Structure 1
Amino acid sequence: MHYNERYSSMIYRIIFKDFKSNIKNNICFFLANSIGIAEFFVFWGMYTLMEKIMKSGVTGEDGIYDIVLSVGAIAIFSTVLMVYSMMNYVRLRLRNYSLFVIIGMKKRTMYLLLALEYFMGWISSFLLGILTGRILLRGVLKIWHEAFPEYVGAANVGTSVYLTTCKVGFAIMAAVFFALMVWTGNRDLSSLTVSEEAKEKRPKKLSWFIAVFAGLGLMGFGYFQYSGSVARGWPYVYSHLEWIMGGFLVVAFGGGMLLEVIHNKHEDLYIRNLLKFNRLYSKYQSNLLFFLMLLSVHFLALSYCVAGIAEMQPIGNYEKYYPYDAIWMAQENDKDQAFSEMLVKKYNGTEDSLPMIRVTNYFSAEHIGISASSYKEITGKQCELTGSEIIFAVSERKSLSERTVKSDMYKELNQWLVPGKLTDYWNRYITSPDTKMAAKDLEHHFQLQNVHVQNWFGEYGVASNCEDVVVFSDDYFKEQRQRMLKNPEESTVLKLFSFPEECRKQALKKLKDYVDTYGVKDSEWTAQKQSSLYVTEETVLELEKADIFKLSNKLFIMIILFLSGLFAVMIKTISELPSYRKRYEFLECMGIRRKMRKKTISIEIQSIPDIAVFSAAILSVPYLQMHILRQNSRGIVLDKKIWLYWFAIVMVYLGIEYVFQKIFAIYMNHIISD
């Protein structure tokens, strides 16, 4: 009895010393889990709060999709990081605990102690991740709100974010532990003590080309969803995740077969680079999860973020796209007409005007309605419209005028229309659960004969899909306008003003004061703030602020994605430090020069990160072309210079990635060689 107590005490002292000797690796794995939980918490928190904090339409929509796509990429990254860290931790501890079984510990006791140690470590890393994530999320939201109060409101993190993060983290922890216990139960104890240097299998046979074709097919389906999505939406989001998984399958299985071809058909190349290729040939399966982590973050950074930043360039100088200083949707009455004549005469301005009506769509947005005769007066082209036939002209400041829009987006958004401003009646009609879906409410359907872009007055509906131009037949327009002329709450004439620079400010102030006092009151039910008066200078200022906001969003996300990849590389390399030291000693024993030893280790450290970032860069080329074609189908013509901006941004990203990887490899070489 006394002997058993002493033996048990000795076993537990050995366990404690073993845990202490591996404390750096254990901390490294649990720190990786904490980072994964913190990142998931931050981006999931932003996702759940985005509808509360986003105020402005176009910036809000872009900000929402920035966050949604980031959540997708970070969800993949953080989930894989948590799986990777927990899996490697359990496998490392299993190898150690199996030795304790050999010297007398019961297998059941081994599992209980391992589960207890694993659970306690996970709890610690989870709490650290939640605390870190909470601090980061509150800081990001505060900075975001203070920097851009026009677009981002204040909000508090709800309990649902904590619960979701807890569920995801616990599910991953439990799944990894259960899977590894099943895997362990089917193996001999002796096999668990085998060194981690055991060679892993990789795809070799041509039959694995099925996986490559599956990846290409998944990317093709992603292209279909990306280009066919209406006003973006979930298919647009899913397409990015499909490209990540498709690219992963192509590189993972195609890369394995490429290594086999090099090994069998190009022996000289294989022999010359044997030491450099070692990590790819011997640890192929272990590196797949790591590769997926890096590909997910680098792909989103180099595709979605870079395309969005390149599309906005150059920022500023928007005044050249606006032919007028202000547009005013007024009433056709003596009072408004007298004021307009006085304003133009007093400030040496000019005024153009044409009959118009307000038009409301099913999505609570207002447009400008004109007649076929006015259309001919503006464009010089005849359009034969009868009954419910219309032409929809999208306001787009940077596009070629009258370019046809191939996308069905505007048809789906604006097939349902009612003449007049959005009133309380129509707001209740649209939002009522008893109202038919827009596609089935045929009573208010119009027949779109053509959809094209234009910049006749300037693009003022920048908040969302609003303030576009609807062209009606002369008879229909006359009938509806006659009805609205009797309603003092409806705009019936569009006045377009231009003033000399020296008196523009005074004239526009006078105009704004008059509209505030006597003008048509704006609808309070539109989805985004719309007005009967738009001043170009204010619109341009709003556009510049909005672009800076969108640019800062994408840069913030790029930095987070870049740092995430860098953290993953650091954690993986540090956790494999003993393995690198063994290899360094082996190379030294083989007589390899010190310079060559360091170069070989550096290549091993950088190989998977380099493959991931260059794979993402290659995938970003067809992504940008896909983005350009999608925008063209919507009538938005992107200048060919977008390729130059894209190339410059990608080169900067790759350069920074290379510098950081090189510095880290030099640092790790210094530690390994000591």
Structure 2
Amino acid sequence: MLFKIIIKNFKYNLKNYVLFFAGELMAIAMLFTFLSLKDSLSRGIFDSVIRYVVDSEFKIAAAIIIVISIFIMVFSMKYYMKVRVRDYGMFLTLGMKRKMVFLMLLTESGAGVFMSLAVGLVFGNGLLYGCQKVLGKIDSTYHIHMNVPFAIYRNTVLLSLVIMAAALFSIMVMIGEKNVSDLAEDKQKEEIRPKGKWLILTAVGIILCIAGIYVYKKDNGVGPYRAIIIWAISIFFLLYFGVGLFLEFLKKRQRFYFRNLLHLSQLYHQYSSNYLIMYGLALIHFMAIGYLAGQIAESLPLTPDAQGYPYDAVWCAAEKDGGYIKDFKEKYNVKAEQYPMFMVTGRNTVQQIGISESTYEAITGHEISLKGDEILYADQYIKYLDRESKKGILSMTDIIHIGRYHEEFGTYAMSGDQYNKEEYRKTNIKELVVQPAVGKYSMDGWHSNVLVFSDDYFEKEWKQIRQARDEQNLLVLMHIPEAVRESAAEDLMEYENREGIKNDVYTIEVDNLTVTDHFLEGLKMQNTFNFASRIIIILALIISCLFLIGLKGFSTMEFYRRQDAFFYCMGMKRGRRRKTVKKEIYSSIKIPLLFGGGMGLVYLGCYGWIFEPAKYGDYTYWKTWAFVFAIYIIVIVTGALLLSHYLVRKMEEETKHERY
């Protein structure tokens, strides 16, 4: 008899189990896909500069997907626990031994976990292949890698097992400690009423939000990433404690409260009992509206502006290359200007080009007056030199080493005031200007800029540099006829690879030779690659968001049915009941969108505060962001509308035989 009851119970709850395993499967697949994709990017892109930039920017986006996958997995397991605790409580009431219940639970969970992992990993491999095919069409040199390292499989399986084991342990503890009657009952969680300390915790959330703004503003490099973490914590405090206080405030305004009673009466329960999923949705909206939409806007236009590149090739060579340069000019009819130079190394292994004020005047036609150790910093990359940009530049060039970067003294450049005074010296930067003297050959904005020294200062240092066999000391600026430009570039690159001075840095851009056509093509490819990868990630976030909304709706279907039955008995019309249920579904969507989207706007506000492109008449970034934002909101709202409509129809179909 008990066996028949178990089988009947299993069949009745089959759709609940399928929903749980679908959530686990999706989370495992996404977890595996983005862990693998990060590894594949580092092996599939052969251009070291693009690989470095894409890899560093992809880390934060991949971390977002991993966190959201964990949220889906935890919520699915929580929903599974809720269903099974009630079922096993019934089995205990019917006389089943606790030992048998535990054994049954382990067997059922083990089979489910194994199936979820197996199918999730297979599905994840399919997603990985699809993502790489898209990226391969953008970059023809990108190689698809399906030989995923064992460590990726291991990390995915271990993380999944840890989450599932923790949830399984908690359900066994609940079965062991609670009374049988309590387990069998489907009790609703009581409303959590705000306490006095909630106001303090809400204030903590506001302070964290302000702290994130300060951290973002303080460091343009890692500041935004640190700020994202701080803002994510801020959302936690504001969403849980702030919303609780706000709802309690609304309840005290009786006229408004009773006028919206049906909409607000269950909101206390909804936001507290479903807080985990609401927080996950808020994080999705925060990253999509703030970080990812902003990154997509930065990737456009895909085709870079050809202005700011006055030469066809720029080569940091040495006097020993003079013979080759002479033959090269005659062979390809190249116009080449040659000037003395040396490399300059700043903090964090940043390498710049050092020239004299006379050379600068000859190249640009701008007269300057430098005395003693004064230096002019000519930025080749940025569009607008505002206060924050100047602050960042000065922090990276407050100390310099005359000469190229050497690995043995790399640690000195990152140690604050404690630097090696034999290798580094303090700078006296007189002025900062935006002037592409040689060209905007930088993908991160920090490297390959120009430092202009007074003639006396430069001559003194250059005499020492030209005696070193492993230092560049000659700047060659070339105009190459278009008809022979490609063959000349191949000849030049072959010589540089064979005879050129090798750099000690392989993880960041420090190319001695840059061909403008190749650089612009690489920049276009990077923009397209970044655009496509962010589109893939934002699509994954949209799917995750809609999946969480649907998962939450299905998990509370029984609650909606009971509520609908109550309203039906009270004589409420069908249209009003449908509208009430849809409103409640939307209430759990609007709150995360308000907080997550609001924090995303804070992120974008910090971007505008620091870079301020609009004040220079450049509205491209903001127009693009507004377009991405509008598309995202339309997709989320439309998806939520369709889901709410489907859930209402599903609820009505299950009760149709009782009423209609």
Asked if TM exceeds 0.5, the reply is: yes
Check whether the contact 1:405–1:453 (CA below 8 A) recurs between aligned residues: no
Residue matched to 1:283: 270
Aligned AA for 2:55?
A: I
**Residue 526 and residue 145 in structure 1: after superposition, are their counterparts in 2 closer, same or farther (change >3 A)?**
farther
Q: CA deviation at 1:565?
A: 0.8
Residue matched to 2:207: 217
Q: CA deviation at 1:201?
A: 2.0
Residue matched to 1:475: 456
Q: CA deviation at 1:189?
A: 2.6
Q: Is residue 542 of structure 1 aligned with residue 519 of structure 2?
A: no
Pairing partner for 2:483 from 506, 509, 527: 506
Check whether the contact 2:553–2:585 (CA below 8 A) recurs between aligned residues: yes
Residue matched to 1:96: 87
Q: What is the rounded CA distance, in whole Å, between the counterparts of 1:484 and 1:79 in structure 2?
A: 55
Q: CA deviation at 1:304?
A: 0.8
Q: What is the rounded CA distance, in whole Å, between the counterparts of 2:528 and 2:414 in structure 1?
A: 40
Q: Is residue 466 of structure 1 aligned with residue 447 of structure 2?
A: yes
Give the superposed CA RMSD. 3.6
Pairing partner for 2:537 from 557, 575, 597: 557
Check whether the contact 1:43–1:67 (CA below 8 A) recurs between aligned residues: no
Q: What is the CA deviation profile of residues 432-478 of structure 1, one whole-angstrom value per residue up to 9, with x for unaligned ones? A: x9999795332111223236543222211337743222333433421
User: Which SS does the other structure have where 2:229 is aligned?
Assistant: helix
Residue matched to 1:6: none
Aligned length: 643
Q: Which moved more, 1:154-163 or 1:648-657?
A: 154-163
Question: 1:305-320 alignment to 2 at 5 Å?
Answer: 305-316=292-303, 318-320=305-307
Q: Is residue 607 of structure 1 aligned with residue 607 of structure 2?
A: no
Check whether the contact 1:365–1:466 (CA below 8 A) recurs between aligned residues: yes
Q: Is residue 297 of structure 1 aligned with residue 276 of structure 2?
A: no
Q: Which moved more, 1:455-464 or 1:28-37?
A: 455-464
Q: What is the CA deviation profile of residues 10-34 of structure 1, one whole-angstrom value per residue up to 9, with x for unaligned ones? A: 1122122111110101111122122
Aligned AA for 1:382?
A: S
Question: 1:144-293 alignment to 2 at 5 Å?
Answer: 144-145=135-136, 147-150=138-141, 154=145, 156-196=147-187, 198-229=188-219, 231-232=221-222, 236-265=224-253, 267-293=254-280
Residue matched to 1:107: 98
**Residue 524 and residue 294 in structure 1: after superposition, are their counterparts in 2 closer, same or farther (change >3 A)?**
same
Q: What is the rounded CA distance, in whole Å, between the counterparts of 1:550 and 1:557 in structure 2?
A: 11
Q: Is residue 455 of structure 1 aligned with residue 440 of structure 2?
A: no
Residue matched to 1:653: 632
Check whether the contact 1:200–1:285 (CA below 8 A) recurs between aligned residues: no
**Residue 303 and residue 142 in structure 1: after superposition, are their counterparts in 2 closer, same or farther (change >3 A)?**
same
Q: CA deviation at 1:558?
A: 0.6
Q: Is residue 23 of structure 1 aligned with residue 14 of structure 2?
A: yes
Q: What is the rounded CA distance, in whole Å, between the counterparts of 1:126 and 1:406 in structure 2?
A: 51
User: Which SS does the other structure have where 1:475 is aligned?
Assistant: helix
Residue matched to 2:352: 367
Aligned AA for 2:290?
A: S
Aligned AA for 2:631?
A: V
Q: CA deviation at 1:396?
A: 0.8
Check whether the contact 2:356–2:458 (CA below 8 A) recurs between aligned residues: yes
Unaligned runs of at least 5 residues, structure 2: 654-660
Q: CA deviation at 1:300?
A: 1.0
Normalised to the residue count of structure 2, the TM-score between the two structures is 0.86
Residue matched to 1:583: 563
Q: Which moved more, 1:482-491 or 1:367-376?
A: 482-491
Q: Which moved more, 1:645-654 or 1:179-188?
A: 179-188
Q: What is the CA deviation profile of residues 315-354 of structure 1, one whole-angstrom value per residue up to 9, with x for unaligned ones? A: 435112333344344556975786698699x68x7x6654
Aligned AA for 2:155?
A: T
Q: What is the CA deviation profile of residues 380-403 of structure 1, one whole-angstrom value per residue up to 9, with x for unaligned ones? A: 3322343xx655443215335x97
Residue matched to 1:405: 389
Q: What is the rounded CA distance, in whole Å, between the counterparts of 2:495 and 2:514 in structure 1?
A: 16
Q: What is the rounded CA distance, in whole Å, between the counterparts of 1:583 and 1:302 in structure 2?
A: 34
**Residue 57 and residue 340 in structure 1: after superposition, are their counterparts in 2 closer, same or farther (change >3 A)?**
closer
Question: 1:325-364 alignment to 2 at 5 Å?
Answer: 325-329=312-316, 354-360=339-345
Check whether the contact 1:73–1:241 (CA below 8 A) recurs between aligned residues: no
Residue matched to 1:667: 646
User: Which SS does the other structure have where 1:271 is aligned?
Assistant: helix
